[in-house]
Amino acid sequence: MFDPRVFRDEASLAAARAALARRGPNPALDAQLDELAALAERRRRAIAEGDALKARANASSKLIGARKAKGEDATDLLAEAGALSAQAAQAQATALAADAEFQARLLEVPNVPAADVPAGDATHNAVVRSHGEPLPSGSPKPHWELGQALGILDFERSVKLAGSGFPLYTGLGARLERALITYLLDLQAREHGYVEVSPPFLVNRATMTGTGQLPKFEADLYRTSDDLFLIPTAEVPVTNLHRDEILDEADLPLRYVAYTPCWRREAGAHGADTRGILRVHQFDKVELVWFTAPGHSLAAHEELTRHAETALQRLGLAYRVVRIAAGDMGFANHRQYDLEAWAPGVGKWLEVSSCSSYGDFQARRMNIRWRAKGAKPEYLHTLNGSALGLARTLIALLETYQEPDGGIRVPAVLVPLMGVERIGPKGV
């Protein structure tokens, strides 16, 4: 949640406006901040008015007692005290209504970019490092041709089952996906010390709100008739594990890894990257989630990103790390790197991971705090990153490891899990 304290004075609000402006021009957001400032002022005035009325009502009550003690008539004071109490109650109701509207609208304000995040739109994204030598594009086949020829991707039957955007892996294709999931989980849990969790795939409205999917992105989500939501990423249930908790400093950082299927309606415009499995409504993903003290979140972001990179390196894929500009970052993001793997068949860099730091933005929404010894609780910082998103990782693998006869060589780290060294033209 956007820090509500910035609405306490003009200087803080001006600084927040300047930081948010680095995301790009947004008249609607400017108007929203004006409305929030007005609501905050309305609440302050109503509280001050209510306190003054209560003080006057209390003073009248004392005078009433004094008159009654003397045997004097206090009818006028009783009427005045009653009127003052009613006015105070009305002021309190005004303050509560303003605060409720303020809190609801605050949920729609994006996070402030970190100071080192480049201003501007996607044209200001910057490659900070790369690994491996990208294979030349042109001659390699795209994954949809390879997958159909090898019998590991079935597009016709997937459309029959669910419509476009819902992949169907068959034979060694299904085994390859399963091997990838197992490998990625084991890598992070065994080598990097993450705690593996298997969360629910359906979550409630409060859980979606906590990580920032609601209320802004409800139209992009799959919702059931009983108001549960299919998760768009494991980040949602895993980051909510500690909602409304206070964590001890000695327990931080907490680091989790989870595999889940993911569902998103916004799979791209019709005709844009819709061939094969470039943009899909359902995909599998292994996700990393961190909870850390604020002073350690910058280093944590770099470490988390390196952990995701390790997976790409072990799989032998060429990739690059891109620092995302403020205007291209996600709604809740404070700082973001994207990892893009090279897919020679389609001749594109494909985002296979987004590693993000949120500052205390999500922690405020979920009321997750930490406490140093002898100190008061404060909001901690959350981070997450894909390690990795499987659909596009599979694209990069199929197109990178294809052989002249149309077969696919299995990456060495996956051979023990696959039980084969290659997927031949007949799918064997």
Amino acid present at 117: V
pLDDT of residue 310: 98
Q: Cα 300 to the chain's mean position, in Å?
A: 16
Q: In this predicted structure, what is the pLDDT of residue 66?
A: 74
Residue of 181, 226, 411 whose CA lies nearest to 316: 411
**Contacts of 16-19 spanning 24+ positions with Cβ under 8 A:** 16/112, 19/112, 19/113
Query: Which domains are seen in the chain, by residue range?
Result: 4-106 (1.10.287.40), 122-423 (3.30.930.10)
Coil vs helix vs strand at 169:
strand
Q: Nearest CA to 406 among 150, 222, 158? A: 150
Using the Cα atoms of residue 31, residue 32, residue 35 and residue 37 in order, give the sign of their dihedral: negative
Instruction: Report in angstroms the alpha-carbon separations of 55 from 45, 90, 96, 271.
Output: 15, 15, 19, 67
pLDDT at 5: 86
What is d(CA 202, CA 86) in angstroms, rounded to the nearest whole number?
A: 46
Contact (CB, 8 A) for 288 and 84: no
Q: Rounded to an integer, what distance in angstroms lies between the CA atom of residue 135 and that of residue 140?
A: 9
Q: What is the pLDDT of residue 426?
A: 61
Q: What is the pLDDT of residue 272?
A: 53
pTM: 0.91
Predicted pLDDT of residue 86: 86
> How confident is the prediction along the chain (428 residues), in pLDDT tens digits per residue?
678 888 988 999 999 999 999 999 999 999 999 999 999 999 999 989 888 888 887 787 777 777 767 776 767 777 877 788 888 889 899 999 999 999 999 999 999 999 999 999 999 999 999 999 998 877 789 999 999 999 999 999 999 999 999 999 999 999 999 999 999 999 999 999 999 999 999 999 999 999 999 999 999 999 999 999 999 999 999 999 999 999 999 999 999 999 999 999 975 544 556 789 999 999 999 999 999 999 999 999 999 999 999 999 999 999 999 999 999 999 999 999 999 999 999 999 999 999 999 999 999 999 999 999 889 999 999 999 999 999 999 999 999 999 988 899 999 999 999 999 999 986 44
**What is the reported pLDDT for 59?**
80
Nearest to 256 by CA among 210, 306, 188: 188
Closest alpha carbon to 315 in 127, 132, 130 = 132
C-alpha to C-alpha distance for 37 and 15, rounded to whole angstroms = 14
Give the Cβ contact number of residue 157 at 10 Å: 10
Instruction: Report the DSSP pairing between strands 246-248 and 369-371.
Output: parallel
Confidence at residue 143, expressed as pLDDT on a 0 to 100 scale: 95
- Decide the pairing of beta strands 195-197 and 254-263: parallel
Residues annotated as catalytic are 264, 279, 351, 354, 392
Cα of first residue to Cα of last residue in the chain, in angstroms, is 51
Query: Tell me, what's the pLDDT at 273?
Result: 62
Q: What are phi and psi of 421, to 5 degrees?
A: -100, -15
